[in-house]
Amino acid sequence: MQNAITSTNFTFPGLKNLYVGKVRDVYNIDDELLIMVASDRISAFDVVLPRAIPYKGQVLNQIAAKFLDATSDIVPNWKIATPDPMVTVGRVCEPFKVEMVIRGYLSGHAWREYKAGKRSICGVTMPEGMKENDMFPNPIITPTTKASVGHDEDISKEEILKQGLVGKEDYEMLETYTKAIFERGTQIASGMGLILVDTKYEFGKSNDEIFLIDEIHTPDSSRYFYKEGYEERQRKNEAQKQLSKEFVREWLMDHGFQGKEDQQVPVMDDAFVNLVSERYIELFENITGEKFERADVSDVPSRVENNIKKFLEAYYR
């Protein structure tokens, strides 16, 4: 029996195709429904790591579902139901070809660019004199291209419009939605003693209407700091205590891996896999304020498949 999902290959009535992403397996049913299975795969530097993380898919799926519900008054979203702790079923949308990244603080990729001497990212100017994890005067939007294979690339608003990746009117709506969802996420995080540092959103269109799609405010798509002690750590130039996937990236970098060609992916031992699992559960409990209920993992693939089949039977009845 499997206590984690590394891959799926289910067969459902009306199945048109299966898209396998870095973390999610997405089943298209009759071009009407998308069944998104949040696997327990983990990726970093755009590389899927060899070991799966128990409960990670459940954490991602349940946080995303909660925040989709909590922002549905701002922008409609694709979610219809969550028939299993690791599964969301939603409407089919045509995705925009960019991801909307928004940053409230100088961290992660933005900090690595800043440290290398750059003062502009995605056409947005970053102030002089900042240090790692400082707060920006106002959140900045730094879009990326959506790569089906390999690395997403930074891109400016001007280049998006020039290449026709998104129309001007739609892009301005994406910016408006991005800022509003980030503000809501920031408020919710603050109430839980956290800082929402940066995150990314994906949008699509259905019947000429914009929908928020995929996941939001999960540790895979977002970075969180603990609010308590943030300012003191900044004053002392100490690392921030954070809840995100960054600690996995740091572990990989410490083991000589940054996703570059000819670099060998280090193998995570059982102890580190368990640590990563517990960190994901910790984030769930911190950001939702709820106790994490561990789903039955005696045979995860069978559980997931059976729950999806029950949903489809009821949906098409």
Mean pLDDT of 268-279: 92
pLDDT at 96: 97
Handedness of CA 241, 245, 247, 250 (dihedral sign): negative
Radius of gyration of the chain (CA): 19
H or E element: which one contains 40? none
Q: Please check whether the two domains, 15-94+247-315 and 95-243, share a CATH topology.
A: no
Using CA atoms in the order 281, 283, 289, 295, what is the torsion angle rounded to 10 degrees? -20
Mean pLDDT of 18-39: 95
Using CA atoms in the order 68, 69, 72, 73, what is the torsion angle rounded to 10 degrees? -140
Asked if the model's pLDDT at residue 111 lies above 80, the reply is yes
Domain 15-94+247-315 fold is Phosphorylase Kinase; domain 1 (3.30.200)
pLDDT at 151: 67
CA distance 286 to 123: 34
Secondary structure of residue 307 in the 3-state scheme: helix
Domain boundaries, the chain: 15-94+247-315, 95-243
pLDDT at 149: 59
Secondary structure of residue 285 in the 3-state scheme: helix
CA distance 198 to 160: 21
CA distance 165 to 157: 10
pLDDT at 312: 97
Residue 139, token pair as written in the block: 């959140």
| Contact of 83 with 228, CB cutoff 8 Å | no
CA distance 181 to 176: 9
pLDDT at 243: 79
% helix, strand, coil for the chain, step of 5: 35, 25, 40
pLDDT at 45: 87
User: Tokens 């579902």, residue?
Assistant: 65
Mean pLDDT of 58-66: 97
pLDDT at 152: 80
Q: Poorest-confidence range of 62-76, 132-146, 249-263?
A: 249-263
pLDDT in tens, 41-51: 999 888 899 99
Residue of 70, 111, 105, 86 lying closest to 308 (CA atoms): 86
| Contact of 93 with 211, CB cutoff 8 Å | yes
Q: Poorest-confidence range of 163-177, 225-239, 244-258, 300-314?
A: 244-258
pLDDT band at 219 (very low <50, low <70, confident <90, very high): confident
Asked if the model's pLDDT at residue 1 lies above 60, the reply is no
Mean pLDDT of 84-113: 97
Asked if the model's pLDDT at residue 84 lies above 70, the reply is yes
CA angle 285, 290, 295 (to 5 degrees): 80
pLDDT band at 150 (very low <50, low <70, confident <90, very high): low
pLDDT at 46: 82
pLDDT cut 90: percent of the chain above it: 85
pLDDT at 273: 93
Superfamily of domain 95-243: ATP-grasp fold, B domain (3.30.470.20)
pLDDT at 195: 96
Mean pLDDT of 224-240: 96
pLDDT band at 282 (very low <50, low <70, confident <90, very high): confident
Q: Mean pLDDT over all residues of the chain? A: 94
pLDDT at 53: 94
pLDDT band at 148 (very low <50, low <70, confident <90, very high): low
pLDDT at 317: 86
